Amino acid sequence: MHRLLLPLLALICAPALAVAQPAAAAAPAVADAATQARAELAGLAPEAIGVREIDAAPLAVGVWPGQPYQGALLVVDVAAPAPIVSASGTFAGAKLTWHRLDARTWRGMGPVPNGTPAGPAALALDVSTKGGAKIARSVDLEVQPLDFATDELTVDAKFTQLSKAARAQIARDRKLVAAMWKKGSRPSPLIRGNFVLPRQDRTTAPYGTRRTYNGQLKSVHEGWDIGGVVGDEIRSPNAGVVTLVSNLYYSGGTVFVDHGGGLYTAYFHMSSFAVKPGDRVKPGQLLGSVGKSGRVTGPHLHWAAKIGGHYIHPASLLLFDFTRPMVKPPAEGPEVVPARATR
Ligand SMILES: [Zn+2]
């Protein structure tokens, strides 16, 4: 009896499974992450998004993007002929945050603020190596302009004519976010592999748009809007630690993830959360779902990335190869070769 029942049950269940699988596979085809990121940065020369080695002997220095653009993540790898004990630097006045890749190779990451004027800007580097050598170098890099669009949006009047209660909530929200920035990022990156999209869908609003809300309020759109319907999954694009999970007035359901090394990503307008503050997340781990909370005109994911106090273009993260250093250390200098005479 039971021997007959089991295959029968399997037969009954099989069609249900067969239906579930093609439904998941039939999701609309969207461009892969790198293609979509390049489309966001269309208008830039190919060398602008490649690695560039700059002449800074005795250091080997790799810069990405080769021609920094407004709103980019800037990555600088410095390799020295002797072990590095400290490194610091700035680009266009914005500070880079440094970590060690190996004894002789360190990496600095920072923003190219979206308001940086196009044209030359100085990359200043200070590197100290074991044995007391101090190497300072400054080189001009040409900042490329991004073509920022302008947009006029109509949102609920409660976002442009703030009530007393709204003002009080906004003040609370600011304190909460300021406390998170004060705690700071983990110095050592938690990044594993390369960044991917938190969800694959069409772009509904690009980064950097100069916006007018209800014909009056002007602001810059400092995120990348990716389409979706309420309930669609949002997944962490890399490893990190969740630093904030809260419902805020403007950004609605909000999650911040610290990827270490000064780099954060943020997810706005969510309808539900799958994480809590302090959670360590793996690449691809569910953070929550798409919503239409806060100042929006419809459901979508506002994906943002922040480093050094500036919101940069998240598309920038998708194009850098985090898995290897950009430069190899130069040959070891004579100062690190033990000078012992043989008798
Ligand atoms: Zn947005």
Q: Confidence class of residue 40 from pLDDT cuts 50, 70 and 90?
A: confident
- Six token digits for residue 295: 């100042």
What is the Å distance from ligand 1's center to 2 Cα?
57
Q: Of residues 247 and 47, which shows the higher confidence score?
A: 247
What is the Å distance from ligand 1's center to 284 Cα?
21
Q: What is the pTM of this model?
A: 0.85
Q: Which residues of 253-285 are buried (b: 16+ CB within 10 A; e: fewer)?
A: bbbbbbbbbbbbbbbbbbbebbbeeebebebeb
What is the Å distance from ligand 1's center to 226 Cα?
8
Residues 219-236 have a mean pLDDT of: 95
Residue 15 clears pLDDT 50, i.e. is over it: no
Backbone angles phi, psi at 171, to 5 degrees: -65, -40
Least confident range from 144-148, 256-260, 263-267, 308-312: namely 144-148
CATH number for the domain formed by residue range(s) 150-318: 2.70.70.10
Least confident range from 36-45, 192-201, 280-289, 331-340: namely 331-340
What is the Å distance from ligand 1's center to 224 Cα?
6
What is the Å distance from ligand 1's center to 278 Cα?
25
What is the Å distance from ligand 1's center to 338 Cα?
58
What is the Å distance from ligand 1's center to 333 Cα?
50
Q: Confidence class of residue 333 from pLDDT cuts 50, 70 and 90?
A: low
What is the Å distance from ligand 1's center to 205 Cα?
7
What is the Å distance from ligand 1's center to 297 Cα?
10
User: What pLDDT score was predicted for residue 239?
Assistant: 98
What is the Å distance from ligand 1's center to 300 Cα?
8
User: What pLDDT score was predicted for residue 31?
Assistant: 65
Least confident range from 105-109, 181-185, 239-243, 335-339: namely 335-339
User: What pLDDT score was predicted for residue 23?
Assistant: 39
What is the Å distance from ligand 1's center to 298 Cα?
11
What is the Å distance from ligand 1's center to 263 Cα?
19
User: What pLDDT score was predicted for residue 30?
Assistant: 56
What is the Å distance from ligand 1's center to 98 Cα?
29
For the chain, the domains span 36-146, 150-318
What is the Å distance from ligand 1's center to 24 Cα?
27
Three-state SS at 311? strand
In angstroms, the CA 205 to CA 221 distance is 9
Looking at every residue in the chain, the average pLDDT score rounds to 87
Rounded to 5 degrees, what angle do the CA atoms 202, 203, 204 make?
Answer: 110
Residue 28 clears pLDDT 60, i.e. is over it: no
Amino acid at 31: A
Q: Confidence class of residue 147 from pLDDT cuts 50, 70 and 90?
A: confident
What is the Å distance from ligand 1's center to 310 Cα?
15
What is the Å distance from ligand 1's center to 251 Cα?
9
Residue 338 clears pLDDT 50, i.e. is over it: no
In angstroms, the CA 302 to CA 317 distance is 15
Q: Of residues 94 and 149, which shows the higher confidence score?
A: 94
Residue 327 clears pLDDT 90, i.e. is over it: yes
Find out if CATH 3.30.450.70 is the number for domain 36-146. Answer: no
User: What pLDDT score was predicted for residue 343?
Assistant: 41
Q: Confidence class of residue 291 from pLDDT cuts 50, 70 and 90?
A: very high
Residues 98-126 have a mean pLDDT of: 96
pLDDT one-digit tens code per residue, 236-248: 999 999 999 999 9
Closest C-alpha to 300, from 290, 288, 314: 290
